[in-house]
Structure 1
């Protein structure tokens, strides 16, 4: 037997595996983790401790499809700049693993599927919120804001806040004030989280022509903005305590103090001219958000007495 023929199946298998992983990578699975961290607690708070597990599953599936579709379309739109940035140069479209036209069809298919899935399994409001999120993320943030303003992640970050709205509406069929407060928590959390990462990779953004705040402002200006938004984040988490029990309130206070200490340390280090590690704040901000929303989920499941009647 010809050796090359015997090796063909393995080669084909490798190419298929690479292509499938490429399509998976387009959806940015690690970014989708935010969906899981925030959607389930929002649903549990909406109807404290008595949410149908099947409804949670269906909402997560619809949300996953929506996030995957939006992220894929984002990769299509950003294919040119992804090739210029070291942080993103290994993405599938930057390496030509997946044809751009195929990725576009894939992203649109996921987006359409998310709308009909949520419409079928939850309600029309949730479906429309998911569709609006995709449109905002791709058309407003990616195509309009990202390459034109330093406030790109401030306003564009609104798309990442929508999973809590979708989760709440899936349970209640409405949008009420606790959902809006959860929206604000993530809205205010996004700038310090993203700018800390951008401080570490500002040369990448500069090379790609993306005017992220750390590219056009001094480190002192950036860290001051990070500090302001961190305070707003913590304030929003404390406002949500009016709709929760003592467990969430306690964790929100302790975690908020920890988050503020990190932000003040970063700002103080820059003011003193000391070497700083902004990536530490970026990584720990993920832990902060996870801890706060985990406490919210447990508090809601236990149906602890609320500090305010929702």
Structure 2
């Protein structure tokens, strides 16, 4: 079976087949909505349909830079802290015994090429694999967890460290939820699009400087563990997002510390998904 690349263009749900854009609502004859969140709410049926769609060759070529966020209005966004072995080591912290969970509020979500408005002089970058949920999940096992995953996308957990560490204990949610602090995209790719969905290369550049380079095989808690763990406490909904953590190289633990500056471009790449390019303003 071919992977599914699900995206949004001009607010309309699309899939990318053989490099061509196919409008979901039009091609399905109205079986599926043009609203991407409604498509995610019917993901199992949509996925079955999408796997049979072929491009005719007359459709427009895809321009990934023109696509909107593939999951524009998630009900909930779960962030996972300290979830890469290399990041825990660089921070001088012990590995957590269970996933460290915080919230990113939905107002942070933006497109893969959107500008990032810096809220202070201590805003940091965090390249992350993002997981989208495909159907309601509550108290599911690790063994079943991947069947509740619609696919993967590229994300950045932009973080205002001034806000995060403005008091003791630190407060994670607000400094990670400013408008634009959760760019995601350019597409959502089903997990069969990867040779190994638990070993995916990701990296991050600031301008031409590579600042992060790792693989999801270094996650302390992998995707099935995260989905299962979250479902023990919460009822996960279709279209909910999980920002799975960031590898080593973030600015706050560098010597000297390295924060984002106006005019800098953050380029985030994940193997098999694509690239985001966000300019800091």
Query: What is the TM-score of this pair, normalised by structure 1?
Result: 0.25
Q: Which has the larger radius of gyration?
A: 1
Question: When you count strand as a share of all residues, which structure comes out higher?
Answer: 2
Q: TM-score, with normalisation over the residues of structure 2?
A: 0.27
Tell me: higher relative CO, structure 1 or 2? Use CA pairs within 8 A at least 6 residues apart. Answer: 2
Bigger fraction of residues in helix: 1
